[in-house]
Structure 1
Amino acid sequence: MATFKLEVITPLKKVLESEVERVILRTTEGDMGILANHAPLVAELAIGEMKIKFNGTEERFFVAGGFLEISKERTLVLADEAINIKDIDVELARKEAELAKQKLSKLKEDRDIAVMRKALESAITKVGMVEGR
């Protein structure tokens, strides 16, 4: 199977740089599959799972928003947060969800509510991915 260069970058670090066979991820328009020689594209990422197939195996990542850019040279995922599912601390994610729920009930400003809803959705998605939901 043909491969292409994938880079996954967050504000804190480069999470992955590798030749891959396939990527499946969630955009704001829905789930999307990427193979070698995909047409150029820019899309906004949603909170969700990213599956990367390389060397005959598949790795799963949690991705929390950002952007996807596909060009001839590479596929670039600029994510607000990207974590290999193996590195997710499910207990910490549960605590983050509880804290976000508590804070959400006390907020009044629309912007603060939107930020906290994203934090809550991220924490719930992490827990669900680890627990296989």
Structure 2
Amino acid sequence: MAGTFNLVVVAPAGEVLNTEAEFVLAPGAEGELGILANHAPLIANLVIGVVRYTQDGKVEKIAISGGFMEVAQNKVTILADTAERAESIDVDRAEAAKERAEKRLREKQSETDMIRAEVALKRSLARLRATDKL
């Protein structure tokens, strides 16, 4: 059996998670990053997506909207712009945000609105993926 390591997820509002994990899969800027115990030191940029981690053989999920990940001395620290554990996500609210963003993209207002709508859509999709509703 593979070993475990400390996984800490922090957002501006405070610590979201501090636990022992067996595996982490994070949405890196260049693709997904898989981390096991005793991984080599690493610092990576994270993008909007879902962090998956395995704890006692069960996969858990956290939706993030970007940030950074540091791997050092058998510890993974994720500093996220925002982070929500799957069980705390309001699915109805996430679906409403997705619909609003899709509507804005269809209407094609100003360039700024398009960029904001694309980011909002990515965030809502990540939240829905974390809850397995997408």
| TM-score bucket of the superposed structures, by smaller chain | 0.7 to 0.9
What residue number does 1:83 align with? 84
What does the per-residue CA deviation read over 1:78-109, in whole Å, with 9 as the maximum and x for residues that have no partner?
A: 11121121221111011112233344546424
Equivalent residue for 2:110, pick from 98, 108, 111: 108
Q: Which whole-Å CA distance do the structure 2 matches of 1:130 and 1:19 have between them?
A: 21
Secondary structure of the residue aligned to 2:125 is helix
Identity of aligned residues (%): 36
Q: Using a 3 Å threshold, how does the CA distance of structure 1 residues 96 and 42 change in structure 2: closer, same or farther?
A: same
TM-score using structure 1 length: 0.85
1:76 Cα deviation after fit: 0.7
Letter in 1 for 2:80: A
Residue 4 in 1 paired to residue 5 in 2?
Answer: yes
For the aligned residues, what is the CA RMSD? 2.0
Equivalent residues in 2 for 1:28-107, closer than 5 Å: 28-72=29-73, 74-104=75-105, 105=107, 107=109
Q: Is the 8 A contact 2:37 2:74 kept in 1?
A: no
- Structure 2: gaps of 5 or more residues: none
Secondary structure of the residue aligned to 2:87 is helix
1:72 Cα deviation after fit: 1.5
What residue number does 2:15 align with? 14
Q: Which whole-Å CA distance do the structure 2 matches of 1:43 and 1:23 have between them?
A: 13
What does the per-residue CA deviation read over 1:41-76, in whole Å, with 9 as the maximum and x for residues that have no partner?
A: 111112222111123322122122111111125211
TM-score using structure 2 length: 0.84
Q: Which whole-Å CA distance do the structure 1 matches of 2:44 and 2:24 have between them?
A: 14
